[in-house]
Amino acid sequence: MKSKYAFLLSLRSLEYEIKQLNAYAKEHEECFDLLQLKLDSLCQFMTLEENDRQWLAWGSQEEIQLYGTQLRETSVQALCEMEKYQSALAIENRLNVSEYIEILSTSVRSELRDFQLDQRSKVLFIGSGAFPLSALTIAHETGAEIVCLDIDPEAVEKGRKVADTWGLADRIVFSGKAIEELSFVSEATHIVIASLVRNKLDILNDLKGRIQPDTRILMRYGNGLKSLFNYPVEEELSDDWQKTSISAGKGFYETMIIEPKHSVIQGR
């Protein structure tokens, strides 16, 4: 039982420190460096086998669920603020563009290879954020046409400015429209659903009847311990979809590729 409360204290301590550092960073820009370090600590926390064992032992209990959810909401909010700060640096040319692109390119290249993207691809990125490094990397690596969606108007505007600053504005369009209002959905050959998108199964339901028969969907998510920094997929997909898991284990989020079955395609 002692190990349960030690684990619970770790969750509460991480949540408190991230919340405080996020508040400090809004007042003092230099605190974003400290916030980044603490978010990195959370990522490391999620990948330790001992913590995974603790989650398997205690994760279903109400207290752990409560503070785990609080930690996720706090860390997601902090990451959104961090991305807005990073996008401002990029717009002001205070970031090393090539270094950032290379770092992310290395981490997502395998994922994109499994997703089979090329210059002819039309990619819809749902939940792109204010500093859309994944979308920028796809554009940089493949030359694909990309439409980025985000529900935060500030994130949409900052993402657009970053793409323009980095010379990728001709390949990426940013929008705050709902899925049902976006005609590009029916043209998309590939769709990415970000790990910080909350209602992933609702998104899939919104896509039904609007996508092509051969559209591939890449969904990032985090179940179990990884739900501390990612929104989970807690239910099985409906029979309308077939899935292939392409990553798990040591990363701080998991990925699956989802493809529609014939019943999903309305009027085809």
Same domain, residue pair 113 and 230:
yes
**8 A C-beta contact, residue 50 and residue 58:** no
Q: Do residues 157 and 193 both lie within one domain?
A: yes
- Among 64, 91, 118, the domain boundary falls at 91
* Pair 178, 248 in one domain: yes
Average pLDDT of the residues of the chain: 91
Model confidence pLDDT, tens digit, residues 8-18: 999 999 999 99
Q: Would you state the pLDDT for residue 56?
A: 96
CATH number at residue 246: 3.40.50.150
**Same domain for 84 and 104?**
no
Same domain for 125 and 251, yes or no, is yes
Domain boundary residue, one of 91, 113, 139? 91
Mean pLDDT, residues 86-110: 73
Whole-number pLDDT of residue 235: 87
Q: Which domain holds residue 34?
A: 2-91
Residues 49 and 77 reside in one and the same domain: yes
pLDDT digits (tens, 9 = 90+) for 224-239: 999 999 999 988 898 8
Lookup result for tokens 């500030």? 154
Q: Residue 95 in 3-state DSSP?
A: coil
**Model's pTM, two decimal places?**
0.91
Return the pLDDT at 45.
96
For the stretch 134-151, pLDDT in tens is 999 899 889 999 999 999
Number of domains in the chain: 2
Q: What percent of the chain clears pLDDT 90, i.e. is strictly above it?
A: 76
pLDDT for 62 equals: 96
Q: Identify whether residues 78 and 136 lie together within a single domain.
A: no
Q: How far is CA 204 from CA 197, 241, 262, in A?
A: 12, 9, 15
30 and 162 co-located in one domain: no
Q: Token pair of 259, please? A: 């493809």
Does 223 lie in the same domain as 106?
Answer: yes
List, in order, residues 6 or more apart from 124 with CB less than 8 Å away: 146, 147, 149, 182, 184, 185, 188, 190, 191, 192
pLDDT of residue 267: 45
- Output the pLDDT for position 101: 54
Judge if 179 and 232 occupy the same domain. Answer: yes
Is there a single domain that holds both residue 105 and residue 81?
no
Among the candidates 91, 109, 139, a domain finishes at: 91
Residue keyed to tokens 């989970």? 232
Same domain, 118 and 208: yes
Residue 2 has pLDDT above 90, yes or no: no
**Side-chain half-sphere CA neighbours of 192 within 13 A:** 30
